[in-house]
Amino acid sequence: MADVERREASLTPRDWFARWFDDWPQLPRWPDLWRSRLFDVDEPMRVEEYRDGDTLVVRAEMPGLDPEKDVEITVSDQTLHIRAERRQETKTEEKGYYRSEFRYGSFGRSVPLPAGATEADVKASYKDGILEVRVPVDSSKVEARKIPVQRS
């Protein structure tokens, strides 16, 4: 046993890094750690975006939220910002037993809007835990402009 300890103590930095990289496949990955209950955090807001004709549709999973109190949607600088705050509290009272738990946090996503997006006509709806934001896009306003190249 003393030989093992002596060898470990005499590892050079190069040997230590080599051993660390040999063990790399067994080490936990950061995304797995964040998803685990080790840190007890929610995953970031899941978002999907697609075009429906002349409309950009952004859908976000937000189960258990009150859209009027907990969700804020803003548009600025050709970017759609979705922010939400989750407040969850549970209380259990039984004979000789009381337990209270709470969990809270805020999360958000920013989605760049395509050229020609009409920021003034953005509409949002919430149904069955899914927030849907619809942004009209006027493709006729988007014109490609040729840039001349000058010789130096």
When divided into structural domains, the chain yields a total of 1
| Integer Cα distance of 15 and 31 in angstroms | 28
Q: What is the CATH number of the domain that holds 36?
A: 2.60.40.790
pTM (global) more than 0.85:
no
pLDDT (tens digit per residue) in 69-100: 889 999 988 899 999 888 878 888 888 888 88
Q: Any idea what the Cα angle at residue 81 is, between residues 80 and 87, rounded to 5°?
A: 150
> Are residues 40 and 102 in contact, defined by beta-carbon separation less than 8 angstroms?
no
Cβ atoms 65, 84 nearer than 8 A:
yes
User: Side chain identity at 32, as an amino acid letter?
Assistant: D
pLDDT at position 46 is 85
Rounded Cα distance between 137 and 117, Å, is 4
Q: What is the pLDDT of residues 1-47, one digit of tens each?
A: 444 444 455 667 777 667 666 655 555 555 544 444 444 444 568 89
The range of the structural domain enclosing residue 13 comes to 2-141
Look at residue 146 and tell me if it is in a domain.
no
Residue 87's Cβ-side half-sphere holds a number of Cα atoms within 13 Å equal to 5
Domain-embedded: residue 78: yes
